[in-house]
A and B are shown apart, each in its own frame.
Chain A
Amino acid sequence: AQSVAQPEDQVNVAEGNPLTVKCTYSVSGNPYLFWYVQYPNRGLQFLLKYITGDNLVKGSYGFEAEFNKSQTSFHLKKPSALVSDSALYFCAVRDHTGSYQLTFGKGTKLSVIP
């Protein structure tokens, strides 16, 4: 069975500082990995995904994520945080066996402090 862990319920970062939201996964074989962001009272908005190829994936709004196979991690990063980045972030995984179901982490609340 596939699973995702987001070890931090909340991350606080000062505006302008780099941010990292952590994600580790467990899946049979190679994974497909996704990051979504959810603003209050809104649905999930796709940020970026890793399918294959370069381990560093760039996505929307200046976010990027690095796939690390040996550590089974896919941490979300941004060089300089904005107050408007404050939201709930979800990591999700799918395996290569043909399963279409996304398995999500519990989410990490990011607060960017002015």
Chain B
Amino acid sequence: GAGVSQSPSNKVTEKGKDVELRCDPISGHTALYWYRQSLGQGLEFLIYFQGNSAPDKSGLPSDRFSAERTGGSVSTLTIQRTQQEDSAVYLCASSLGAQGGDTQYFGPGTRLTVL
């Protein structure tokens, strides 16, 4: 079946602009996660959605970052007033549930470059 998809695959933007990154999880997966992968920082958890529960935003690095998940499916990560330090690969993952042993399946990522 179809895996997690993300768009765009690459995004180049100017400092100060807003960007939106999209994630389509695997159909039927109730949990959705955003991570950030940057050089020297490894993989950093950003935000987690589970069903209709309030999201866990504890990993968001600043109030310029926000995310929503509409209809329990597609998610959008928005970065306002982008800064050069926001340049990274943004990865989305989904899992069937949120139990500890549930496997997270990752999308191909969006590479964000802030000039």
Contact = CB atoms under 8 A, between A and B. Distances in A.
Interface string A14-44: 0000000000000000001010100001111
Interface residues of B, number: 23
Nearest to B10: A41
A100 B50 contact: yes
Contacts of B109: 42-43
Given A43-B4, A44-B91, A100 B98 contact: yes
A interface bracket (residues with beta carbon within 8 Å of B): 20 to 34
Nearest to A46: B103
- Nearest first, the 3 A-B pairs at minimum CB distance are A51-B101, A104-B43, A43-B106
5 contacts: A41-B108, A46-B105, A90-B43, A100-B48, A102-B43
Interface of A: 32, 34, 36, 41-46, 49, 51, 90, 92, 94-96, 98-107
